[in-house]
Amino acid sequence: MKWLRNNWDQVLTALAEHIVISFTSLAIAFALSLAIGIWAARSDRVFRWSLAVSGFLYTIPTLAFLALLIPIVGLGKANAIICMVAFSLMIMIRNVATGLREVPAEVIDAARGMGMRAGEILARIELPLALPVIVAGLRIATVTVISVAVVAAYINAGGLGTLIFSGISNDFAPKIWVGALTACALAVAADLGLALVERWLRRRTA
């Protein structure tokens, strides 16, 4: 662990980079999924099609996906972010749409009876009630994106994978240990953190 003591700034930079690209991808994917998910909650056809397409994207192996994008967008962060967005779409669209569909019809009827408009019902009734399910999707997507970002270091997107790959190519075990364990810790911490948020939201809406 002498390597870690001397290079902790390098590890912190990689960790920060990892968090930034993961968070950027999640933000883009969340905005897209929210729009598609709201549409899918109202139309069975959109629901089936959006899940079929995003499910197909989800099945593609991470490294194969990154490789397939290279001839189109080249190496680097843009490639990685497209790939990470594509991987999180299925999980988040599914949860946004099913979360909205599970809102009881009586509640929406009551809101309409109170004279609320469709936009108001969506923003003040449906989305808040669907929030626990949406956050559950966000949680799985976050873990997926953190995992994809590790691989994305290979196409020069930066992040914790950089440490792992340089450790592998230089046959230097401490770097592999630090990179891999930090990535694992980040994934577990994000999962647990969002699990707490999810539980708090469930208790609040129950």
Least distance between another protein and beta carbon 204 (Å):
23
By CB under 8 A, residue 19 contacts another protein: no
SS3 of 16-80: the string is HHHHHHHHHHHHHHHHHHHHHHHHHHHCHHHHHHHHHHHHHHHHCCHHHHHHHHHHHHCCCHHHH
One residue of 19, 129, 177, 202 binding another protein per CB under 8 A: 177
- Cβ–Cβ under 8 Å, residues 145 and 18: no
Q: Which stretch binds another protein (CB under 8 A): 32-40, 88-96, 110-118, 163-171?
A: 163-171
By CB under 8 A, residue 118 contacts another protein: no
Here's the x/- map for another protein, 133-162, by CB under 8 A: it reads as ----------x--xx--xx--xx-----x-
Give the separation between CA 142 and CA 157, rounded to whole angstroms: 17
By CB under 8 A, residue 67 contacts another protein: yes
CA–CA–CA angle 8, 9, 15 (5° rounding) = 90
- Cβ–Cβ under 8 Å, residues 48 and 94: no
Least distance between another protein and beta carbon 120 (Å):
37
By CB under 8 A, residue 78 contacts another protein: no
| Chain contacts with another protein (rule: CB under 8 A) | 56, 59-65, 67-68, 70-71, 75, 143, 146-147, 150-151, 154-155, 161, 164-165, 167-168, 173, 176-177, 179-181, 183-184, 187-188, 190-191
